[in-house]
Amino acid sequence: MRTFSIVTTGRTGSDYLNACLDGMNEVMTFCGKFDYTIFFDGPNHKVDKEELINAFLKKYQFLFSNDKFENTRLEIDTDKLKEIFINLNLNSKLDRKEFLIDIYKSYHLILNRNVENAKVLVFHSHNIALTKKFLKDFPQSKLLVTIRDPRANLKSGIINWQNYDSSQICIEHSYYYLKRIREDLKFLLKNIKNDKLFVKLEEANNQETKEKIINFLNISYDEKIYTATIGSKIWIGDSLSKEKSLKGEYMKSVIDNDWKLFFSGKDLILLNEIFKDYKRFGYEIFTLKWPKKILFFFYIFTRMSFEKKTFEKIKNKNFHDKVLNYFSFIKRIVYFLFIFFKIEIFIPNKRYNMTNVK
């Protein structure tokens, strides 16, 4: 069975893509993000399969029931799922590759889907760290990488999270997000050589894009690719999304989220320079030339418009929180200086892991 992984670069529609593949006749997928590697000490470590399934179901119970954040309404019998899993493999112990395949098969079977029809397995690795681990287990895998205009991506990452969770009203979050949008793409382009298909959120519902995905997966056409579902049930979108997709349809509002009104002209001089790698995908990002490069250098040390608003919102916080925000602002300055002086080093986002998926 051919294997694929879906990787995001921010709020770029990876969940939507995964949900569009759910239930397709020749696709074996699992809607929901989870890290299957945490139950093992390494790729070759074998663990008792009953111990594995118990630990997995305990940690990821929300994948099979109601999940408030993801807006899922599933009623999957986990006792039956466990029984299916245990009886799938004659081996008493499994390594992490075998475990992932059997979890997928069990999920497929409990939804009354035909495992024999499945030609591809699509794993939603989501972040860079888990993608690297997945490629160790499945080195021939191809990647589906979801992308979006980086400025629209950044606005969505800042505003939607701040509206959903007040703890994200901080400079650390906006710094983390803009760095993630840039660094994850650069890493995927430079460090991962596997075949990749980049799927632009703005074009995710186009017939041409759907056909590219089907051809990349090398499967037969299935009209289900136009409807987002989880466990065969309509998915309306996560809790961060303002508009809900009541029929699992593509929401055209993601094409333009008014990012041009959100960022100031000074912001865009900075952002267009740090996000210039996205030009290769057809996004209109002007090239910064002299003398505006001088402006870029001096603007680095000033607050961007959204940073000003964040500082204003946190002005009544305690001294400790204020210090942390100023420290994050300094980190952002240093990061931009690295870019200006072309000091390209990959600095992974330590905040970003499978227990804190954003």
List Cβ<8 Å contacts ≥24 apart for 294-300.
Answer: 295/266, 295/269, 296/269, 296/270, 296/340, 297/340, 299/266, 299/269, 299/270, 300/270, 300/333, 300/336, 300/337, 300/340
- pLDDT beneath 50: ranges in the chain: 351-358
Residue 344, pLDDT score: 75
Pick the CATH number of 2-254 from 3.40.50.300, 3.40.50.720, 3.10.20.520, 3.40.47.10: 3.40.50.300
For 98-132, give the DSSP string.
Answer: HHHHHHHHHHHHHTT--GGG--EEEEEEESHHHHH
Residue 346, pLDDT score: 55
CA nearest 213: which of 357, 358, 16, 9? 16
Half-sphere exposure of 279 (CA within 13 A, CB side): 11
Query: 319-340 and 171-191 are packed helices; what angle lies between their axes, rounded to 10 degrees?
Result: 30
* CA atoms of 181 and 186, how far apart (whole Å): 9
Whole-structure pTM value = 0.94
CA nearest 25: which of 158, 219, 267? 219
Measured between alpha carbons, how far apart are the two ends of the chain, in Å?
30
Domain ranges of the chain: 2-254, 259-340
For 12-56, give the DSSP string.
Answer: SSHHHHHHHHTT-TTEEE--S---GGGG-SSTT--EEHHHHHHHH
Residue 42, pLDDT score: 95
Residue 32, pLDDT score: 86
Residue 345, pLDDT score: 66
- Element holding 97 (H helix, E strand): helix 96-110
* CA atoms of 201 and 16, how far apart (whole Å): 9
SS (H, E, C) 250-286: CCHHHCCCCHHHHCCHHHHHHHHHHCHHHHHHCCCCC
The CB density around residue 251, as the number of other CB atoms within 10 Å, is 18
Residue 347, pLDDT score: 55
* CA atoms of 64 and 41, how far apart (whole Å): 26
For 304-329, give the DSSP string.
Answer: -HHHHHHHHHTTTS-HHHHHHHHHHH
Residue 81, pLDDT score: 98
The CB density around residue 105, as the number of other CB atoms within 10 Å, is 20
Q: What is the pLDDT of residues 83-117, one digit of tens each?
A: 999 999 999 999 999 999 999 999 999 999 999 99
